[in-house]
Amino acid sequence: MASTIDMRDLRYLNLFQKITGIRTRHIFHYNDMIYFAVPKNLLSKALGRDVENLRRMSSMIKQRIRVVPVPKAIQHAKDFIKAVVEPVQFKEIELTATEIIITGGSTQNKAGLLGRNKKRLEDMKKIIRDYFAREYRVA
């Protein structure tokens, strides 16, 4: 991940570590939520019993939080993208050498992937560039 971390995100990472006991450097914003990416084997520890850790942290910073597994390679891109854009569904994902193309299916799903003023599209482009070094587009 080549993205730089600003001071606010650094505070969120420190709070996340204090509450969950998991040290991570993967944080990004999508759809007005804060996402933390942790190794898949530590996902249940990050959530806590009855998702207590997320509720506690969410009430402290007054923002919605999600935890997703860190993608290890491009083969995990579909699962990673599906976890980030949930509950929006997409028809299929196509991986090429230079870009990741998502087929939205219905108009409503495509609109959910793009967002108002293409905000979600721009956020996802940045995330895909940081994690997979590819371009992203919705078809």
Contact 29, 113 (CB under 8 A): no
pLDDT band at 5 (very low <50, low <70, confident <90, very high): confident
Q: Is the pLDDT of residue 26 over 90?
A: yes
pLDDT tens digit string along 42-80?
999 999 999 999 999 999 999 999 999 999 888 889 999
Specify the CATH number of the domain 74-138: 3.30.300.20
**Per-residue confidence (pLDDT) for residue 1, from 0 to 100:** 52
| Equal CATH topology for 7-69 and 74-138 | yes
pLDDT band at 139 (very low <50, low <70, confident <90, very high): confident
Q: Where are the domains of the chain?
A: 7-69, 74-138
**Per-residue confidence (pLDDT) for residue 108, from 0 to 100:** 86
Contact 13, 24 (CB under 8 A): yes
Fold that domain 7-69 belongs to in CATH: GMP Synthetase; Chain A, domain 3 (3.30.300)
